[in-house]
């Protein structure tokens, strides 16, 4: 979350991976006004896993009172002070040198008794906002489409809304603006080979009183314990509907679709809590595994939803209740 602080205004300048400074409005990332400032005066950019500054001007760029050689890269360090041509045009202090990332930037507060803005939010792949305990919405990126989406938990419309650069959303009495890093999005998970849902086998171990649902996932290379979570019972019920439709001979594309009202009745929650559990199930999967089609773990279509996984077993007590594909047994 790299940024500079303009010392005379306390304005934070969040850095793009290739960030330009100068007096040519609409053509630079940060506008510096002054007769000695060049149209494109300097560049700060992310190179070789560090931030570097490069002077492009006629009248010079200073780093800690040292004038930079023209068009030469210099590494930046926290606490460095930068000014362009003359310190009267503003002195910038390097505060943070984190790697480029997508951000939610606070733009204004809706609270009448507050003038301070909260800190920006560094975006990972999946977020409950403002927090997971009391979420108002979820924000997530679909890596297959390279697109951010937002979905309010009280919306009954099934389709999340796509977000683009500089789009705004509101939560926690603030307006937030999406700032993209303009690089190919990467995460630590993407360093490992990606899997498809079809490669995963889900095992649900349900207690006889149906109070606890323990989920495990078998990948081609390992078995992963997802432990006992409340949202696993929701996924288990979706699996039951899909298995029942398979046993009834429905085509795979028609299997498992259920209206949320029926599911809400099955597990005893309202629409908002149903939606929260859906997103918590997706987030747990995304946080644990690198899945190409993770958003399809719970699919939505025409006001209905279903489990996207195609291989699973439900074991209640010690007995196999159902499985997909049919004919699987508890010992497999």
Taking the model in full, what pTM does it have?
Answer: 0.80
Task: Locate 17 and state its tokens.
Answer: 């991976």
Residue ranges of the chain assigned to CATH 2.60.200.20: 3-96
| Reported CATH class of domain 3-96 | mainly beta
DSSP single-letter state for residue 268: T
CA distances from 66 to 23, 58, 74, 220, 228 (A): 22, 16, 11, 57, 59
The pLDDT, as a whole number, for residue 192 is 53
* 3-state SS class at 106: strand
**DSSP letter string, 165-211:** TT-EEEETTEEEEEE--SS----GGGGSPPB-GGG-EEEEEE-TTS-
Going by DSSP bridges, is the β-strand pair 201-206/312-316 parallel, antiparallel, or unpaired?
parallel
Length of the chain, in residues: 332
Among candidate residues 218, 275, 266, the one with its CA nearest the CA of residue 241 = 266
Mean pLDDT for each consecutive 10-residue tract of the chain (332 residues)?
A: 91 93 94 95 95 97 97 97 96 95 84 68 92 92 86 76 93 91 51 81 97 97 96 98 96 95 94 93 93 89 93 96 78 45
Please give the pLDDT value at position 125: 87
Quote the pLDDT of residue 189.
42
Q: What is the dihedral of CA 284, 122, 170, 14, to 10 degrees?
A: -170
């Amino acid at each position: 979350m790299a940024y500079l602080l303009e010392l005379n205004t306390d304005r934070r300048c969040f850095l793009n991976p290739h960030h330009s400074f100068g007096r040519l409005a609409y053509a630079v990332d940060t506008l510096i006004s002054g007769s000695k400032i060049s149209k494109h005066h300097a560049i700060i950019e992310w190179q070789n896993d560090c931030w570097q500054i490069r002077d492009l001007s006629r009248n010079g760029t200073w780093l800690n009172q040292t004038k930079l050689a023209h068009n030469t890269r210099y590494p930046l360090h926290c606490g460095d002070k930068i000014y362009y041509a003359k310190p009267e045009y503003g002195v910038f202090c390097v505060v943070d040198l984190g790697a480029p990332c997508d951000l939610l930037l606070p733009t204004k507060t809706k609270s009448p008794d507050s003038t301070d803005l909260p800190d920006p939010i560094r975006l990972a792949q999946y977020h409950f906002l403002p927090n997971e305990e009391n979420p108002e919405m979820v924000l997530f990126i679909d890596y297959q489409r390279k697109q951010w989406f937002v979905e309010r938990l009280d919306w009954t419309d099934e389709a999340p809304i796509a977000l683009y650069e500089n789009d705004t959303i509101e939560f926690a009495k603030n307006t937030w603006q999406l700032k993209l890093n303009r690089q190919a999005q990467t995460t630590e998970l993407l360093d490992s080979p990606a899997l498809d849902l079809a490669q995963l086998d889900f095992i649900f171990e349900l207690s006889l009183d149906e109070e606890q649902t323990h989920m495990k996932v078998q990948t081609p290379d390992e078995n992963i314990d997802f432990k006992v979570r409340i949202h696993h019972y929701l996924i288990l019920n979706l699996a039951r509907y899909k298995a029942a439709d398979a046993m009834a001979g429905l085509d795979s594309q028609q299997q498992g679709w259920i209206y949320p009202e029926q599911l809400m009745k099955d597990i005893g929650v309202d629409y908002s809590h149903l939606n929260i559990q859906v997103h918590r199930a997706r987030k747990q999967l995304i946080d644990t595994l690198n899945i190409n089609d993770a958003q399809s773990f719970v699919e939505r279509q025409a006001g209905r939803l279903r489990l996207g996984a195609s291989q699973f077993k439900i074991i209640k007590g010690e007995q196999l209740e159902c499985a997909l594909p049919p004919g699987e047994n508890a010992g497999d």
